Amino acid sequence: MIEIAVIATPALGDRTYLVHDGEVGVVIDAQRDIDRVLDVATGAGVRLTHVLETHVHNDYVSGGLALCRRTGASYVLAAGEDVAFERHGVVAGDEIRTGSMSVLVHHTPGHTDAHLSFELRDANGPTAAVFTGGSLLYGTVGRTDLLGVERSDELTRAQYRSVRRLIEDLPAGAAVYPTHGFGSFCSSVGGSARDSSTIGDERRDNVVMAVDDEDEFVRRLLAGLTDHPAYYSHMALLNRAGPLEADFSPPVPVQGGELRRRLESGEWVVDLRRRRAFAADHLAGSVGIELSDPFATYLGWLIPWGSRLTLIGETPEEITAAQRQLVRIGIDRPQGAVSGPTGAMAAGHPRRSYRVAEFADLAAACHSPGLTVLDVRRRDEWNEGHVSGARNVPLHELVDHVHHVPSGELWVHCTTGMRASIAASLLDRAGHRVVLVDADFQDAGASGLTIETGATVDD
C-alpha cells in the first residue's frame, strides 16, 4: 500500500512529500534541512530511490541534491533545466518506476517554463495522486511573475492551459499535493484554506475553472499579484549551482567589544526575542525580528543580500532555530552570535526602549501635534482599509525610505504587530521616536479610529 507523508514548512508556506510503499520511497520538492526528511524515511523504514523536483524553486534553496548525495537516490529534474550538476533529466510522458509505484511526468509550464507535475500510480492500480508544485494549488495557481514582469502574460497563459489540462484529464478522485499555497508568496489570487483536495474539488472551485476566457483569467491573475520577498531573485541561481548540505554548527561567539563595534558600524545585528521584550530593552543599533514563522522571510526580504549578520538570542537553542530558518533561503553562516541577558552582551553600549500600545491608545492620542500614524502593510492591504490620516510605507520599502519618514512621534502598526515590530526597530535604529501598536488591525475601527478604503494622495 502506498503512503504519503507530508513534511510541512509553515515558515515558508511550503510542503515536501515522501511517498513510499513500505520498502522504497520517493521525495518531492525537498527543503534544505534534509534531516527532517531523513527522520521520516528512517521512521518508515524505507530506502530513498528518487528525489523529484517539480521546478527550480524561486522561494527557497532546495535540499534535493544534498539528499541524493547523502542517500544515493537519483535526482530527477526537467531535462530542459540548465544546472551545474548531474541529474536524471525527464520530459513529459516519461515514467519512473520504483517498488510498487509508478510516477508519470507531466509538463505544466506557467510558474516556471520547465515546470513538471508528477502523477502517482500504484503499479497495479489507477492514479492515486498528483504532485503539482507551483502549478495547481488549492483553489488557485502559482504566481507567474517570478521570471520577470515582461514574461508574466506569456506564463500566465501557459499556467491557465496547464492547470486546466490537469484538472480535465486526471480522475476526480486523485488527491492533489501542491508544494506552495499554504501561506507561500508563490501563490497567486484567491485560493482555499482547506488542508487537502482532489481533482474533483478543483474542478468545482479552482479559479482556473471559474473563468472560461483566457484573456479574462490573465487580467484577473496579474491584477491580483502582490509584492514578493526580495531574496527570491537569488534562489534559482543557488538552486541551479547545486546547493551543499546545510551546516547547523554554532556560529562564532561574539564578545562584548566586537559586538559593540558591529553595532556602531551599522552591521545587521538581529535580536530574536519577542517584540515586547525587545521594545522594553535592547542594544542601540540592533534590529528586532522575533523568532517566529515569518522570521526568515522578513529578514531575507529586508537585509541587503550578502550583508554580515550577527544573531542575538536568549539561548543557544534560539540561535540554532534561527539558523534552520535562514539556511532555507540561502543565508548559510551568520558571522557570529551571542546569547544570554541583554545587559551582559555589550557592557557599556547604549540601550534603548520604546512604548508599546493598543489601537485604543492610538485613538486617544491620534490628534496630538506632531504625531504620525505609519501603516507598514502592503499597498493592497492598505487599499482594503486603513486608518484615516495615516501614511503608508510598506515594511519591505522601509529600509530604503527610513530617513524620509516624518519627524516627530511615529505610531507604527500593521495587521497583527509582527511587521510593525520590525519597522519600529528599524525606525528606532535610525533615531526616530516610535510607539509600536502591537494589536490586530481588525480591532482598529472598534477602538474609535476612522477606517477608509482605497488609495490616497499620500501613498
Q: Which residues contact 233 (CB under 8 A, 6 or more apart)?
A: none
**Set of cell numbers at residue 274:** 519577542
Q: What 8-state DSSP symbol labels residue 250?
A: P
- pLDDT given at position 291: 97
**Could you tell me if 197 and 117 are in contact, meaning their C-beta atoms sit under 8 angstroms apart?**
no
- pLDDT given at position 170: 97
Q: Cell 539528499 sits at which residue?
A: 67
CA–CA dist 399, 300 (Å, integer): 12
Domains of the chain: 3-241 (3.60.15.10), 256-352 (3.40.250.10), 355-452 (3.40.250.10)
**Could you tell me if 94 and 103 are in contact, meaning their C-beta atoms sit under 8 angstroms apart?**
no
219-228 b/e (C-beta count within 10 Å ≥ 16 → b):
ebbbeebeeb
pLDDT, averaged in runs of 10, over the chain (459 residues): 96 97 97 98 98 98 98 98 97 96 97 98 85 97 95 98 97 97 90 91 96 96 94 97 95 92 96 97 97 96 97 96 98 95 82 97 91 96 96 96 90 98 97 97 95 71
CA–CA dist 294, 316 (Å, integer): 20
For residue 163, the surrounding DSSP H or E stretch is helix 152-169
- pLDDT given at position 344: 78
What order do you get walking across the sheet with 127-133 strand by strand? Answer: 95-98, 101-107, 116-122, 127-133, 175-178
Q: Where are the alpha helices (DSSP H) in 265-394?
A: 275-280, 295-302, 316-327, 359-365, 379-384
- pLDDT given at position 348: 82
- pLDDT given at position 456: 59
CA–CA dist 59, 301 (Å, integer): 11
- pLDDT given at position 459: 43
- pLDDT given at position 1: 86
43: region left, alpha or beta (phi > 0 left; psi from -120 to 50 alpha): alpha
pLDDT tens digit sequence for 165-209: 999 999 999 999 999 999 999 999 888 888 999 999 999 999 999
Q: Whole-prediction pTM value?
A: 0.94
CA–CA dist 446, 441 (Å, integer): 10
**Could you tell me if 176 and 138 are in contact, meaning their C-beta atoms sit under 8 angstroms apart?**
yes
Q: What 8-state DSSP symbol labels residue 150?
A: G
Q: Where are the alpha helices (DSSP H) in 183-231?
A: 199-205, 207-210, 214-224
Sign, CA torsion 442/444/450/452: negative
End-to-end CA distance of the chain, in Å?
Answer: 57
**Could you tell me if 401 and 420 are in contact, meaning their C-beta atoms sit under 8 angstroms apart?**
no
